[in-house]
Amino acid sequence: TARMLQARAARRGYLTELLHVFHLLPAFLVKMSSDVLDMALKLPHVEYIEEDAYVFAQSIPWNLGRIVPPPPSAGTYSPPNKGDKVEIYLLDTSVQSTHREIEGRVLVTDFENVPEEDGTRFHRQASKCDSHGTHMAGVLSGRDAGVATGAHVHSLRVLNCQGKGTISGTLIGLEFIEASLKAQPSTPPVVLLPFAGAHSRALNAGCRQIVQMGAVVVVAAGNYKDDACRYSPASEPEVITVGATNSENQPASIGTLGTNFGRCVDLFAPGDDIIGASSDCSTCFMAQSGTSQAAAHVAGERGDGGAGIAAMLLSAEPHLSLAELRQRLLHFATKNAIRAAWFPEEQRLQTPNSVAGLPAQLGADEQLLCRSVWSARSGLTRHATAVVRCTGTEEMLGCSSYSHSGRRLGEHIEDKEGRKQCVAHNAFRGRGVYAIARCCTWPRARCRVNASSQADEGAGCAPQDHVLTGCSFHSPAAVLGDGGRPVPGPDGRPARCT
């Protein structure tokens, strides 16, 4: 397809330069005139074209005590393990690997793909070029200030000295990780992307592909005090998206803005005034704030409860899938500590009220873990629908709907392309509706959907040893009333929906 584009463009007098052919996803990077766009869209196999856009670092010691219950005595930090069985890939600026905090703990790879710095007079001072990456590496595995002090960090440079990178550079970096995984298969690695850019279908697809290969991808929600679903890679459902809190477990204000929020955020973690290694000298420390630092806590560095926690959980249970890891992060998190009034009113229900944390002990513990996943709001027309799915390894055990106006026509679960999806229906004069799926992980959990016909009085479980997990009701003719209620059977357990 790329060669066909070059040939057709040349016949019309346009030069095109093929820069890279991706193998992580079916795509290629080409430099060409905007006049060639229509021609390119008409080529066979071309689904969409996306301009190569920028991504930006998301950064501007209470945190270690915050994530480990009970509070450490005498100010000491005692994690359940050091995360030493996990490899962490950090895509960031360059790193000052000789800093005493991370010396011998960070492998600086030879990968580098960054754009030129803005401004002809920009001075590439080493300490500035290494600033963000060095701080992040210290949060992940720093000797004194790290969350997962035993984790092995691999540094890839995708951000320049101004903390700016590109979508294409990030995708090529993910291909570098893909090649490493194929060469040396091991415990699922953690990939930390502490940056954000405008919504990118290509970047989301690349993240989804590396997750399907077994990696756990942890990303920054963004520092724009906005809906995280508008940004990438934060908007990709298959990654773990982390927002930032302050020392009071409240949403972090970052500069004139603050942490992003909304249904695309999985949980929050410390991200305000986080102490970590400074690239100013080999023994210097500094404080930085942002969802970059929050994501590092979940992934493996020292930050605010994100990266490091994932590394420790995977060290204890190396065979966890990303869905199972996400469920454990939510299960161990502190619930309902955040003042929801900080968020816009229309985002308060969708934004998770969970701050990352760890149990006192880790180990295999088979149990049913569930989370609620919201859809985007439907349109306002009478027959508009909202649809939401669970991730591939989760079971949908319930489906419900919500409307700010209260006007909705119910919801139902349907199978589409081999996967269940929860579908919610807007009502006439409604203000839009949300679909809410109850997504669960348990090795033995399998869900069946039994629906009644219009003439039936209800639907029940068959065979009888099945457990009723939820009721849904949809009427295309009337606004939702009393339908969709569970009815107890002879043994007192819910047996039917009416």
Catalytic residues: 92, 132, 292
200's enclosing H/E stretch is none
Peptide bond preceding 237: is omega within 30 degrees of 0, i.e. cis? no
Cβ-in-10-Å burial (0-12, 13-18, 19+) of 183 comes to exposed
For residue 405 the two structure tokens come to 């106006």
3-state secondary structure 43-111: CCCCCCCCCCCEEEECCCCHHHHHHCCCCCHHHCCCCCCCCCCCEEEEEECCCCCCCCCCCCCEEEEEE
For residue 461 the two structure tokens come to 């479980």
Query: For residues 389 and 438, what is the distance between their CA atoms, to the nearest angstrom?
Result: 9
Query: For residues 216 and 232, what is the distance between their CA atoms, to the nearest angstrom?
Result: 16
Between vectors from CA 301 to CA 300 and to CA 302, what angle results, nearest 5°? Answer: 125
The number of residues making up the chain comes to 498
Q: In the block, which residue shows the tokens 């026509």?
A: 409
For residue 292 the two structure tokens come to 């970059």
C-alpha neighbours within 13 Å on the C-beta side of residue 446:
3
Query: For residues 161 and 132, what is the distance between their CA atoms, to the nearest angstrom?
Result: 9
